[in-house]
Structure 1
Amino acid sequence: MAELLYRLGSFAARRAWIVIFGWVAILAIAVGGFLIGFKGLTSSFDVPGTASGDVISELEDKLPEYGGAAGTVVFATEDGSALTAEQRAAISALVASSDDLPDVTDVIDPFSTEQERADRQQQIDDGRTQIEDARAQLDAGQEQLDAGVAQLDAAQAQLDQALASGIPADQLAPQQAQIDAGRAQLDAEQTKIDDGRAELEMQSAQLEQGAELLSLADGIRVVSEDGSTALVNVAFSEPRLELQEASKQAVVEHFESEPIDGVEVSFSTEISQGVPQILGVGEVVGVALAGVILIVMLGSLLAASFPLITAILGVAVAALSTLAFSGVVQMASVTPVLGVMLGLAVGIDYALFIIYRHRKQLLQGVEVTDSIALANGTAGNAVVFAGSTVIIALFALNVTGIPFLGLMGTVGGIAVAIAVLIAITLTPALLGAAGTRILSRRARAKLATDAVAPPAVKPMPTWRAVVTSLVAVLALLVIAIPSLSMRLGLPDGSSEPADSSAYQAFTTTAKAFGEGANGTLLVTAELSGGQSDDEILAAQLEIARLLAGEDDVVAVAPIAVSDDGELAAFQVVPAEGPTSESTDALVRDLRGLEYGGEPLGVAGQAAINIDISEALADVLPLYLSVVIGLSFLIMIMVFRSLLVPLIATGGFILSLFATFGAITAVFQWGWGAEVFGIHSTGPVLSFLPVILVGILFGLAMDYQLFLATGMREAYVHGSPARLAVAQGFRAGRSVVIAAGLIMVAVFSGFITSESTIIKSLGFGLALGILLDAFLVRMLLMPALMHLLGRSAWWLPKWLDRVIPNVDVEGANLERTHPPHHTS
């Protein structure tokens, strides 16, 4: 590999403009592909095969009107007063004129809904009155009937006395027949009264069932009790993952087309949440800070510009190329963001490693072309192996079986691969075109002088290595403590920017209708089918009672029964929002309930959050095993050691959990939230741990590689093990410090994003690099290597014979291609 990179670097340096124009052509092709193939991104996430996904699939099959996406348009008066008749009429007019909106199946007028509720309540009240009247009539009829029976009984008694006195029976037969006929008539009337009473009781029971269902649904409202807020529910024909952004924007434009005086309109996240801005002021500032670090490190504006140019070009090619396939593969909105983050960070770092090596060789008097080729064969070789660990970690996200996560890893891996390719091709070309101008004038003036001998290096005292190890481990463990209480979930409307429509809709709804109105659940129950309407009503009431009996349930309402009578759907309003712990517990409790021996199904934002979080938690061990296993093999091959990879991996695990702890403290507990522009805390982004594992492990191994290879190179060249640690550390510390600061600067720029997802990604990556690069790689790792001494480089002889010698330090290359020095 080193030989190939040496030749590639030499070619690029001598044919600089061919390589430069080649990458410009590649960029043009990427632009063309983007213009042709870009079809938009989605702001939703999904995991196939989850419990909530199964519920939605069943709804799409049997109750398709409830299987699509749904959102809410919130109308609220500006001064908190009740909506006037004119304002209500204007809202209803907007609802009535929304029939032709794309992908919209139904828009519910809140005032009609509330009127229907009032009408049903009135019908129940009227029905109760009618039943009472009918019952009174039956009671009066019964009294009359009882009086008639009494009269017949008296007549019968007189007749019996006459018979007893000796009057012949044939003379009394007409009277007896009259009495019998009267009794038969009264019996018929009694039967009618009994039948009427039974029918009345049945009607009363049905009425009370309906009344109980209405009372259980009392907490579900679309017009607030004070009349100041109204919710317009919008149902879409397409599931949320397939709903086009244009369809959501059409709803926004329609309800904003005719402003209503004194009324503010806002939209829930399902409608208003769009694709977040990928680059903003914060990202630009982060890149600018990276530029300042490069100037300090390389001592030249021209040299400092090269890593920025190559990184930006790599990001452009990677982002445009992947977005060109958005019409073929569904992409989440954060997918290109991850590619941009990584492309900028590693693109700058990888170019820096090669330029730094080249600059150092130039200062030693090596001829320009030879220096470029040699830098590409040595530092470029390290870049390739370092990039390989990152790419493996990212592509391994596909083993999780979660499509959007696998795609994020693939896009990120492509961005890193392009950054590596640009670093080993375009960077040598730019260096070849620049010649010695990448050095400052003062440095160029000193090229002819003798190289200054490097300062003497001594190994660190053993006591310092022990103290450093203990302090570093203790610090990481303390920072990691909050991770023990980390909760995972997806952001809701409360985490949207404070000035956004989604945040306004979320807070207005919570204030007017209660927090649970933002986190309603959709519950399904299997019915036996073939039931009568009365039996279905009784089943709905039984299920509603079952649901209402759970803690933290505010209201329950049956909303539909499938045509075949086999599936019933219910709306459940929890006490708190979708990301709260109580709603999380409620979803789990509801899924533990059964009706007719079948478990209830639960969907809704809270249920989806749980399913995605659990799915990610389940695949994390497998993912971690694959990433660490493959990278461990690469490190054994690179370092020709078993203990060095173990140290590297153990240190990473410490820094990873410390990063988790800090994220939990800030985003979940709210420590220092104001500093980072977080106005609402909640669970940690569900897929953040998996993403951080992949990216941070790869980047951590980058710095491990650049420090430990220098130590191995010194050790192989005869230095005692502990002295080699100090020599390798001194040789690589400057570039690793600069690279780490650049990473932190670039990732920190994304913390200023208004999107909670991007903000948490930027924070996690920036802090993870800060902890791993400076606490683990710069302190803990050298201290442990010192304590291990020669045993750090131990490798079984049989394994030493099996694994190939990749010569990542480029020692063989320097022997076969000795550099030519300028005279």
Structure 2
Amino acid sequence: MLSTLARFCVRRRRFVVFGLWIPLFLVVGALTGAAGGNFRTDFVLPESESREVQELLEAVNPTAAGFSAQIVLKSERALTDTDYRTSIEDLIAEVDTVEGVNVVSPYANPQQIAQSGFIGFARLEITNRSQTDMMKVADVIKGIGDKYRVPGLQIEYGGEAFAKFEMPESEALGLLAAMVILVLAFGSILAMGLPIGTALLGLGLASGVVTLLSHVVSMPDFTTSMVAMVGLGVGIDYALFIVTRYREGLHEGLEVEDAIVDAIDTSGRAVIFAGITVIISLLGLYLMGLSFVRGLATGAAIGVLVMMIASITLLPALLGMVKHRIDTTSRAAVVSLALFIVMSLAAIFTHSLGVFFAGVLASGAVVAVSFLVKPLRRPLAVRTPKARELTFWYRWSRVVQRRPWFSLVASSAVLVLLAVPLFDIRLGFGDTGNQPERTTVRKAYDLLAEGFGPGVNGPLFVTVQGDIAASPDQFNAFLGTLSKAENVAFAVPSPLGRDARVNGEPVALGIVYPKSAPQEEATTELVHTLRESVIPATGVVAKVGGFTAASVDFADYLGGRLPWLIAAVLILSFILLMAVFRSLLVPLKAVIMNLLSIGAAYGLIVAIFQWGWGKDLIGVGKAGPIESWAPMMLFAIVFGLSMDYEVFLLSRIKEEYDRTKDNARAVADGLAATARVITAAALIMVCVFAAFVLGDDRQLKLFGLGMAFAVFIDATIVRMVLVPATMELLGDRNWWIPKWLDRALPKIDVEGHHLTVAEITDSEAVSARSN
């Protein structure tokens, strides 16, 4: 089937490229431009106490279902000074006219002015809406604030509503790094260009589909960045594996069409298997039952699916157009590429589209001039492939195989040591306190902490229904009891709950301000203490909620289900690898090694983001908990990607073992044949993922660094040391499987059939005789 698909794509290459992919890309792009996106972060946690509080708040006041934010004020003299007060009251009055915005003035509620009198805040309740619409409202409010600035008055904007998310420019840096790596690895501009071009076209299509899907599926605002991160990585990798196999076929003497068919029928199978594995791992996140997680998983899965399809349809069509020129690079092409990369870097750091387009024009001019200047058209010398036994990787494999026990113990010890911080992991959510210090939300966060204490940035909402809610004296006495609890700064009634009723029953709402910051472990413990001991001791039936409490519930929920997700993915992966390689020990080793590499990645992000080691080097504002969704998302994607390298390497080793029946030789030959490609692919992924560390968003920094480190560990310590060492120690036992199990397992062929010139010649001879 794959051979037939590949031949169709080669023979109808213009139709595939210009009649299918490009029109589809343009149609989706036009629809996306017309409809836009509707991204929204929906932390809906079913059957949780914080969810019950949220529903009650929505019933009391619809604006409570939306965003909570603040206009934070700091003055050189007291905020009650006439000049300041006039400007602030005018500002608040105009903001209150914005549709869907409710403002509580600091002058209406004295508790919103610090004891010093110099810091205060106006509380904003903004009706629930999409992330895109919220950004527009936030811009309107900030525009109003700019009109009322007076000397000596600082105005900042706090809360997630003003934490404007922007697509990071680091994606472009990762792409430029990938271009350089591919050129250095393969010495050909076209061999670089095809994987990059395929990945970019696939990424554009996938991003458009995800943006359109955001109208019907709840997706957080950074989903498209997640799609870009994962899509670029796997897209370039998948195309790289196929292009490499195609070039090998040409070097062995195959014709263009046969070389493409061979590449799709061998490496293409591994790409499909790896892609499906990643998608299955991602869709396993649906078991979490959370719309926020489903949205992320759906977006990433669409990105992988589109890249996989592009690799086995669009890429063979492009290869059919390029033909033998895949190995040819002119001097003009090298100069043009170098100029493009330099100008693109300048454009990124100067934030200038003009510089970028100037680079494009200059690169095109070099190519145009080459038609007039013959020396520029001269091709560079084509690299002559070394004999496998003379390559560095063959010699490296032999070194590892000569000392397998040392290699196994040393590399395992390094991975275990790196994973040690994992055992101190604390799940939670970052907040505006993790934003860069130059942003208005971080300045507002720090001002509030300065004036009112760190807990004001993460208040807890307490709801009470029934008779006590109808009695202000009893409710205030209840709040007074909560104020005496350990780590509580103070507790006050909320104006939102004044004289409120739900279904005819009185409702009272209180706000509890912790002494500790929202992300601190002490605040998490306070939420549990209030629910489990302090409130029950009063005899009052009350619920604790709000964003901070919801973050605690979210972390507890995901932390409890993460082991089940890991177990499910491991079992499924073990069965799949057992069916592919007809072995018991190979899949068992793969599962253990993948756990070690992912554990090391977890350890790194805990050490940096939670413990704060080296946080300043990557621009993390301050240490805090690990984003609750990150470990499971990281596991699902990295485990699928590591299966990619696993299948690519082991299928080559198995191919050599079936041919020679010499395990030691098969391991060395398999590693030598795949190491350069795996190393290049891993470096590309590391660059693409690590580039997101350069952005401002803490979530993307954490996820990008975790992905980059996991891939690096997997492609180096695991694939280049642990695999050859364990394969050498086990010898022929690597491929043992009970006969009854061999018969019971389905046949899954990811190796395909490698065409040879001799086979094609024999086939042509038979065909000639029959005619």
> Do they superpose with TM above 0.5?
yes
2:177 to 282, 289, 304: 289
1:721 to 663, 686, 693: 663
Structure 1 residue 30: Cα displacement: 1.1
Structure 1 SS opposite 2:213: coil
| Residue 630 (structure 1) aligns with | 572
| Residue 581 (structure 2) aligns with | 639
Q: TM-score, normalised by structure 2?
A: 0.86
Q: Does 2:166 align with 1:277?
A: yes
Aligned residue type for 1:543:
F
> For 1:406-430, what per-residue CA distance to the aligned partner results, in whole angstroms no more than 9, with x for missing partners?
1211111111111011111111111
Q: Does 2:527 align with 1:587?
A: yes
Q: Does 2:154 align with 1:228?
A: no
Conserved in 1, the CA contact under 8 Å of 2:53 and 2:546? no
1:522 to 461, 479, 485: 461
Aligned residue type for 1:277:
E
Q: Does 2:406 align with 1:471?
A: no
1:292/1:66 CA distance change after superposition, 3 Å = closer
Between the aligned partners of 2:538 and 2:606, the Cα distance in structure 1 is: 42
Q: Does 2:85 align with 1:88?
A: yes
| Residue 47 (structure 1) aligns with | 45
> For 1:443-491, what per-residue CA distance to the aligned partner results, in whole angstroms no more than 9, with x for missing partners?
9999999x97542768556561111111111111111111111111111
Conserved in 1, the CA contact under 8 Å of 2:461 and 2:512? yes
Q: Does 2:139 align with 1:249?
A: yes
Structure 1 SS opposite 2:491: strand
Q: Which moved more, 1:472-481 or 1:722-731?
A: 722-731
Structure 1 residue 94: Cα displacement: 1.5
| Residue 740 (structure 2) aligns with | 798
Conserved in 1, the CA contact under 8 Å of 2:6 and 2:260? yes
Between the aligned partners of 1:411 and 1:454, the Cα distance in structure 2 is: 41
Conserved in 2, the CA contact under 8 Å of 1:38 and 1:325? no
Structure 1 SS opposite 2:489: strand
Between the aligned partners of 1:87 and 1:447, the Cα distance in structure 2 is: 74
1:336 to 224, 229, 239: 224
Aligned residue type for 1:416:
V
| Residue 107 (structure 2) aligns with | 111
| Residue 60 (structure 1) aligns with | 58
Between the aligned partners of 2:9 and 2:224, the Cα distance in structure 1 is: 30
Between the aligned partners of 1:810 and 1:506, the Cα distance in structure 2 is: 58
Between the aligned partners of 1:371 and 1:68, the Cα distance in structure 2 is: 57
Conserved in 1, the CA contact under 8 Å of 2:189 and 2:329? no
1:5 to 2, 5, 8: 2
Q: Which moved more, 1:254-263 or 1:376-385?
A: 254-263
Aligned residue type for 1:542:
A
Conserved in 1, the CA contact under 8 Å of 2:171 and 2:228? no
Structure 1 residue 279: Cα displacement: 3.8
| Residue 74 (structure 1) aligns with | 72
Structure 1 residue 652: Cα displacement: 0.9
Conserved in 1, the CA contact under 8 Å of 2:39 and 2:132? no
Q: Does 2:395 align with 1:455?
A: no
Between the aligned partners of 1:723 and 1:715, the Cα distance in structure 2 is: 8
Conserved in 2, the CA contact under 8 Å of 1:36 and 1:324? no
Conserved in 1, the CA contact under 8 Å of 2:38 and 2:130? no
Aligned residue type for 2:237:
D
Conserved in 2, the CA contact under 8 Å of 1:613 and 1:686? yes
2:95 to 90, 95, 98: 98
Between the aligned partners of 1:805 and 1:437, the Cα distance in structure 2 is: 37
Structure 1 SS opposite 2:464: strand
Aligned residue type for 1:396:
G
Structure 1 residue 817: Cα displacement: 6.1
| Residue 305 (structure 2) aligns with | 417
Unaligned runs of 5+ in 2: 331-377, 765-771
Between the aligned partners of 1:462 and 1:681, the Cα distance in structure 2 is: 42
| Residue 619 (structure 2) aligns with | 677
| Counterparts of residues 298-337 of structure 1 (less than 5 Å) | 298-337=186-225
Structure 1 SS opposite 2:245: helix
Q: Which moved more, 1:619-628 or 1:381-390?
A: 619-628
1:799/1:248 CA distance change after superposition, 3 Å = same
Conserved in 2, the CA contact under 8 Å of 1:721 and 1:789? yes
Conserved in 1, the CA contact under 8 Å of 2:427 and 2:627? yes
Q: Which moved more, 1:462-471 or 1:733-742?
A: 462-471
Structure 1 residue 538: Cα displacement: 3.6
Q: Percent identical across equivalent pairs?
A: 32
Q: TM-score, normalised by structure 1?
A: 0.81
1:448/1:619 CA distance change after superposition, 3 Å = closer
Structure 1 residue 746: Cα displacement: 0.7
Conserved in 2, the CA contact under 8 Å of 1:68 and 1:240? no
Structure 1 SS opposite 2:660: coil
Aligned residue type for 2:55:
S
> For 1:10-32, what per-residue CA distance to the aligned partner results, in whole angstroms no more than 9, with x for missing partners?
22222221111111011012112
| Residue 373 (structure 1) aligns with | 261
Between the aligned partners of 1:370 and 1:565, the Cα distance in structure 2 is: 77
Unaligned runs of 5+ in 1: 115-220
2:484 to 549, 562, 565: 549
Between the aligned partners of 1:674 and 1:259, the Cα distance in structure 2 is: 33
2:23 to 18, 22, 25: 25
Q: Which moved more, 1:65-74 or 1:760-769?
A: 65-74
| Counterparts of residues 422-461 of structure 1 (less than 5 Å) | 422-440=310-328, 454-455=388-389, 459=398
Between the aligned partners of 2:711 and 2:208, the Cα distance in structure 1 is: 27
> For 1:726-783, what per-residue CA distance to the aligned partner results, in whole angstroms no more than 9, with x for missing partners?
2211111111111111110110111111111111111111011111221112211221
Between the aligned partners of 1:496 and 1:88, the Cα distance in structure 2 is: 30
Structure 1 SS opposite 2:71: strand
Aligned residue type for 2:702:
S
Q: Does 2:10 align with 1:34?
A: no
1:495/1:441 CA distance change after superposition, 3 Å = closer
Between the aligned partners of 1:7 and 1:426, the Cα distance in structure 2 is: 14
Structure 1 residue 696: Cα displacement: 0.5
Conserved in 1, the CA contact under 8 Å of 2:67 and 2:161? no
Between the aligned partners of 1:376 and 1:68, the Cα distance in structure 2 is: 50
1:687 to 629, 650, 656: 629
Between the aligned partners of 2:161 and 2:379, the Cα distance in structure 1 is: 60
Conserved in 1, the CA contact under 8 Å of 2:220 and 2:292? yes
| Counterparts of residues 157-196 of structure 1 (less than 5 Å) | none
Between the aligned partners of 1:500 and 1:94, the Cα distance in structure 2 is: 21
Conserved in 2, the CA contact under 8 Å of 1:378 and 1:808? yes
Between the aligned partners of 1:323 and 1:441, the Cα distance in structure 2 is: 38
Between the aligned partners of 2:304 and 2:562, the Cα distance in structure 1 is: 22
1:761/1:821 CA distance change after superposition, 3 Å = farther
Structure 1 SS opposite 2:616: coil
Structure 1 residue 812: Cα displacement: 6.8
> For 1:623-645, what per-residue CA distance to the aligned partner results, in whole angstroms no more than 9, with x for missing partners?
22332222222211211112111
**Residue correspondences, number:** 704
Structure 1 residue 311: Cα displacement: 0.6
Aligned residue type for 2:199:
A
Structure 2 SS opposite 1:750: helix
1:265 to 139, 144, 155: 155
Aligned residue type for 2:631:
P
Structure 2 SS opposite 1:232: strand
Between the aligned partners of 1:431 and 1:62, the Cα distance in structure 2 is: 63
> For 1:603-648, what per-residue CA distance to the aligned partner results, in whole angstroms no more than 9, with x for missing partners?
1232111111111112212222332222222211211112111111
Conserved in 2, the CA contact under 8 Å of 1:578 and 1:605? no
Aligned residue type for 2:157:
F
Structure 1 residue 687: Cα displacement: 0.7
1:781/1:80 CA distance change after superposition, 3 Å = farther
Structure 1 residue 248: Cα displacement: 3.4
Structure 1 SS opposite 2:120: strand
| Residue 208 (structure 1) aligns with | none
1:453/1:92 CA distance change after superposition, 3 Å = closer
Q: Does 2:2 align with 1:16?
A: no
Q: Does 2:434 align with 1:492?
A: no
Between the aligned partners of 2:755 and 2:408, the Cα distance in structure 1 is: 35
1:339/1:67 CA distance change after superposition, 3 Å = closer
Structure 1 residue 39: Cα displacement: 3.7
